[in-house]
Amino acid sequence: MLLLYCTGIFARQPVRPFPQHSHYFAGTITPAHISQAQLDNAVRTFYLSWKRRFVKNVPGKAENYIWFENKGGKQCVSEGQGYGMIILALMAGYDPLAKDTFDNLFRYYRAHPSGRSKYLMAWAQNTRGKDLDRTSASDGDMDIAFSLLLAAKQWGNTGAINYLGEAKLMINAIMKYEVNHKTGSVLLSDGIEAESKDYFAMRSSDFMPSHFKAFKQATHDARWNKVIDAGYRIFSNMQAVYSPDAGLLPDFIININKIPKPAGAYFLEGRYDGQYNYNACRVPWRIAADYLLTGDKRARNITTKINSWIRETTNNNTYNLSAGYTLAGNDIKGRYFEALSFVAPFGVSAMVNGKNQAWLNHVWDYLTAFKQRDYDYYDNSIKLLNMLIMSGNYWQ
């Protein structure tokens, strides 16, 4: 079954701020214990505070960036730039300044190219606005490219920026430099080459099948089918072999050219690289989005296993959620605290089946009860993106 693309309250044709909804994602659920007006108002309120805090201007330039809060000496990372550009494109029906802000975010991205392609973004800038190095981060590039497709639908392509043309250039660069053409898996960055030790490794959260379907539609490049099929095959195998009860994916997967397996500790980022940690926590959102937008049953199968486990392990109580799990589904010791980047994606994954209605309602209430000031750019940006989906305001 192919699901309807949700036009959402913020969609163009026509752009209207918070009109009465006529439908959501067909065949799926949204929080049902409060009114649509309350859902929309929660999105609007949180968006305004998110924008005030995290959208920053480069002094003297028509450039904006999503603030990384100077953590680790970083002003901005491409991951955040992608989040911000998607959010602005989706919010244009409400925010009359969204286009100008989006264009400034675009100009910042183009002002910081990677070393291999001017259409990919250097992954991080320091507090003086200088690139830390000239390599990319695949997830940031893929979100920026998707945001340009949204912008093309939202504003057209006859203005100062040809959004669709820019999206195609970026998508082609992603295919050339950030995809492993032997396995179809997504590379960690454009700095990974065939002789690199990490050539057959991937970050689980870089698999964004609904993005890839949009990329194929925009460029007519059938190679995206291989990327989609490879990702689903890897994920299904990893669930069956390493997480048969919980259905969880690790932050990093290695050995993709042979028998995929979780990365070991300190593979790239830290002790929990082979567990369900701060990268993999985005997987339920990224995979569920594909079912919500396209009806891909592979996405529903993957998220159904995760939904069953999380509801059982928490006893349907959101206050039992932890910030990290082993692939066996056990809490990572010492991680019994609230992390919105873990909470929100469980809400999106719940949307694939009406049996999860009460759980989805609980997740929404729990998620929206936390104040923005108590969390950082990562938690707050993922919270907002997932609120847009859960409230029925996401579209392809």
| N- to C-terminal Cα separation, the chain | 17
Main-chain phi, psi angles of 252, to 5 degrees: -130, 140
Q: Which two tokens stand for residue 9?
A: 């309250």
Contacts by 253-257, CB closer than 8 A, 24 or more apart:
253/201, 253/202, 253/204, 254/198, 254/200, 254/201, 255/200, 255/201, 256/180, 256/183, 256/185, 256/200, 256/201, 256/202, 257/182, 257/183, 257/200
Contacts of 46 (CB under 8 A, 6+ apart): 368, 372, 383, 384, 387
Question: What is the torsion angle, in degrees rounded to the nearest 10, for the CA atoms of residue 98, residue 212, residue 133 and residue 266?
Answer: 120
Produce one character per residue of 318-357: b if its CB has 16 or more CB atoms within 10 Å, e if not. Answer: beebbbbbbbebeebeeeeebbbbbbbbbbbbbbbbeebb
Question: What is the torsion angle, in degrees rounded to the nearest 10, for the CA atoms of residue 328, residue 290, residue 23 and residue 381?
Answer: 70
3-state secondary structure 315-380: CCCHHHCCCCECCCCCECCCCCCCCHHHHHHHHHHHCCCHHHHHHHHHHHHHHHHCCHHHCCHHHH
DSSP assigned state of 6: P
Q: Are 132 and 123 in contact (CB under 8 A)?
A: yes
Produce one character per residue of 266-305: b if its CB has 16 or more CB atoms within 10 Å, e if not. Answer: ebeeeebbbbbbbbbbbbbbbbbbbbbbbbbebbbbbbbb
Q: How many residues does the chain have?
A: 396
**Residues classed as catalytic:** 79, 139
- Rounded CA separation 143/344 (Å): 18
